[in-house]
Chain A
C-alpha cells in the first residue's frame, strides 16, 4: 500500500490509473454467510474493460480470488472458491456460489498488476477474515425410537428403523450403529452397507437392512457366515453418541435397545387372520385391527386405508400399537352406520420381509403365482346403527 500511495504522489496526472487506493469490502450477512466481496478503487477505464471482457472465472481468479485458508494445504495450491464475477457500478463484485461457512478462515487477494490495464506499482491487497460461528455446539438431537419395538424378533429380521428427533448427517451410519451379542461381542458387518444410506426425506429416519445375503439361504454369505441373528439368543443395538447430526453436533446420548431372537418366520401375513373391532355408529371410537404377529412399522403407516360406504377414504389418523401388533384408526368425524371397507396394500410386510403378496423367499416348487396377487386386499367392517336410537 505504501508503494501505491508514493506512486500517486509522484505520478500525478499521467495516463496510468489515477486512483490506486484499492480496498476489499465485505457485503455479507454475517448470519447466513450470503452476499458478496467487492473491490473498490478500480479506475473507470479498467472497470469498463472488465465489464466488456470475455474473461472466464479462471481468468478473473488471477486478478481477484478468494480461498478457504486451511492450514493443511499450501495456499498457492488451494483452488479458489467458485462464484460469479461482475462489475456493478464502480466496484468489482464477487459472489460465491454457496454461502460462506462460519468458522472457516477465508483469504481474499486482489492483484492490481493483473488488471486489463495493469497497475504495476500497486501491491496486492490481501484480507483474511472468519465469519463467527453463531450456533453453540450443544447436543440436542437424540434417538427417539427404534423399530421394531417387540421384545422378541424373528431370527430372519430384515429391517430396523432408527428415528431421530432432528435431521442427521450422512456418511457415517454403518460406523455408528452396532449390534452386540449377549456376550458383548460386536457382530461383524450385520447390515447391508450402501453408500446412499436409506434415509427419509427429512433425514430423521434411517432404514437398516440386515444383510439379505446372509438371510437368504443358499448363498455364499449365508453358507460362510450364517444368518446375522440366531434364535434363542439376545442382542443389544447400540447407537453411538458421537454420530453427528446435520449441524455437526453429536447426539445427546448413546442409545441402547436389548432384544431377544425367536425362530425364523417364513409365514406371510394374512389379513383374514386379523381381528377387527368394529366401532359403534355416532362415536369416534377407533377401528382397531389386531395382528397375530408384529408388522413392519413404516409400512403400517400408509398401507391400510378405511373407505366409507360410498368408497371414499375416511379422514382420520392411525396409531400403531405397542410392539406393532395392532393399528387403530381414529376418524376425524363420528362413524355412521353402514358397511366400511379396510383396504390393505399387499406390499405390507412382517418383520422378516414376508409380505401379504409374497414370502421373502419363494419356494419355486410351490409357486405363489406372481402377478396373481392383487395389489390390495379388502376387509369388510359393518358399523351397526347406534343402540340408543
Chain B
C-alpha cells in the first residue's frame, strides 16, 4: 500500500509529462526545413503558419513581430517583384510570389516567395513594413513547430511515389489550422483540420471529405480553392470557393474527422471566375466578402441573409447568376493576392500587363 501511495502520484506526473512531450508540440528553437514556398497564414500574436507542398508539411513559426509597426505611412511598394528579386540577388522573372498575409499584430505584410522556378527553388519569407522596407525574414534559429501532412497509403502500403498534394489555402480558425489541398493524382477533396499546438503528425483523422451537391441531385468531390472564416449567428463557418466556382458555406462544427460534409451553395459566380483569394470585412454594419478571381478583377459579395439563405438547388440556366448579390470592382484589375490590413483597409498585390507587381493598400469598398 505504501508503495502504491508513493507510486501513483509519480506515475501520474510521469504520464502527464509524457503526454505533454509527445502530444503538445509547442514551438522549439531551430531552423524549419521549409522546402517550398506555399501558402501562409497568421494565427494569434505573430504566429505564422507556413505551408510546404513539396515537404508535405505545415510549420508554425513565432515571428516575434508583435508590436504595431511604428514606421507610419501606408503599406505600398511599387514593383515589389523587382525589389524582392534584387534583395535575393536575382531578377523578377526568376521569382514567384506565392502568397501574401498581413500580420494582424504588427500590420506588416509577409510574402511567401520562391527564388527560382524549378523544383529546387528556395522558399523565402519576405516582410514589408510601412516605410516600404523589403527584407528577408531569417528562419535561422527561430521558435517553431512542424507537423507532417498525411499522404494516404497506397495498396502496397508504401508512399505513393509521385503523389503530391498542392496546398491551395490555409487559415487558422478557433484553434485549428484548416488546410485545403489538391492532389496531382486522384480527384480528391480533402480538407485538413489540424489542431494547434500540433500533436505529432497530422494523421488521416485530420482529414475531412468535402462534397458539393445541390444541383440536380448530383454530388461531386469538389476541391476547395480558397476559403475564409466567417461567423453566422455566432457560429463559426468556412466560406469556401470550390475550384469549379460555386461559393459555399460549411459549418466549422460539422468539420469533424471522417465526416462527409456537403457545402451549401450560397452563390454561383459564373465561368472564368476562378477564385484566387478572399477576405471578409464589415462596412456600415454589414458583412461583405471580397474575392479576387482570375478574370473579372475583384468581386464584392454581400453576405446579407447568408444565415438563412437557401441553398441553390435548381440547375443554373442561361448563365444567370444565382445566390448572394455581388458587384465587380472595376478599378481593381489584376489582383492576384489580397489580405485584410485593418477594419477599413486591405493589402493587395496587383499585376499589370507588363508583369510588374505592385503592393498597395486600398480602402475596403
Q: Which residues of B contact A305 (CB under 8 A)?
A: 154-157
User: Number of residues in B with C-beta < 8 Å to the partner?
Assistant: 86
Of B14-22, B57-65, B160-168, which binds chain A? Answer: B160-168
Inter-chain contact B186/A347, CB cutoff 8 Å: yes
**Contact, CB under 8 Å: A362 / B136:** no
Known: A217-B216, A302-B154, A363-B218. A79 touches B87 (CB 8 A): yes
> In the complex, which residues of chain A have a beta carbon less than 8 angstroms from the beta carbon of B86?
67-68, 70, 73, 78-81
State whether A201 and B54 are in contact (beta carbons under 8 Å apart), knowing that A246-B119, A364-B219 are contacts in the complex: yes
- Tell me the smallest distance from the CB of A199 to a CB of chain B, in Å: 7
Interface residues of B in 235-273 (CB under 8 A from A): 242-246, 258, 260, 268-272
| A106–B116 CA distance with the chains assembled, in angstroms | 18
* A219 adjacent to B215 (CB under 8 Å): yes
Query: Which of chain A's residues 264-305 have a Cβ closer than 8 Å to chain B?
Result: 296, 298-299, 301-305
Q: B270-303: which residues lie under 8 A (CB-CB) from chain A?
A: 270-272, 274, 276, 294
Please report whether the interface of chain B is mostly helix, strand, loop or mixed according to DSSP. Answer: loop
| Interface flag for B319 (CB, 8 Å) | yes
* Inter-chain contact B117/A81, CB cutoff 8 Å: no
Which residues of chain A are within 8 angstroms of B209 by Cβ–Cβ distance? 370
Q: Are B119 and A167 in contact (CB under 8 A)?
A: yes
A96 part of interface (Cβ distance < 8 Å): yes
Interface flag for A101 (CB, 8 Å): yes
Shortest CB–CB separation between residue B273 and chain A, in angstroms? 9
Alpha-carbon distance between A219 and B273 when the two chains are bound, in angstroms? 12
A298 and B89 within 8 A (CB): no
Q: A166 vs B245: C-alpha distance in the bound complex, in angstroms?
A: 34
Interface size class of A (residues with CB under 8 A): 35 or more
Q: A194-B166, A219-B245, A219-B246 are in contact. Are A345 and B96 (CB under 8 A)?
A: no
B260 near A212 with CB under 8 A, answer no
A167 and B118 contacting across the interface, CB-CB below 8 Å = yes
In the complex formed, the residue of A with least CB distance to B272 is A189
The smallest C-beta distance from B351 to any residue of chain A, in angstroms, reads 11
Tell me how far the C-beta of B29 lies from the nearest C-beta in chain A, rounded to whole angstroms.
19
A251 to B223, CA, bound (A): 32
Residue from A101, A213, A220, A245 within 8 A of B321 (CB atoms):
A220
12 further A-B pairs in the complex, CB-CB below 8 A; given A203-B119, A216-B244: A68-B91, A72-B82, A168-B118, A170-B114, A196-B168, A200-B164, A213-B245, A216-B218, A219-B316, A220-B269, A221-B245, A223-B318
A selection of 20 A-B contacts at a CB cut-off of 8 Å is A68-B89, A70-B91, A81-B89, A82-B88, A98-B89, A101-B90, A167-B120, A169-B117, A170-B117, A170-B118, A195-B98, A195-B276, A196-B167, A196-B168, A216-B212, A220-B268, A224-B271, A246-B118, A299-B185, A344-B155
- Taking Cβ atoms with an 8 Å cutoff, the residues of A that contact B are 57-58, 66-68, 70, 72-73, 78-82, 96-98, 100-101, 104, 106, 158-159, 167-171, 189, 192-203, 205, 207, 209, 211-214, 216-221, 223-225, 244-247, 296, 298-299, 301-305, 313, 343-345, 347, 349, 353, 355, 358, 360-365, 370-371, 376
The 3 closest A-B pairs by CB, nearest first: A246-B118, A218-B215, A203-B119
| Chain B interface residues (CB < 8 Å from chain A) | 38, 53-54, 79, 82-83, 85-91, 94, 96, 98, 114-122, 133-136, 152, 154-158, 160-164, 166-168, 182-188, 209, 212-223, 225, 242-246, 258, 260, 268-272, 274, 276, 294, 315-319, 321, 336
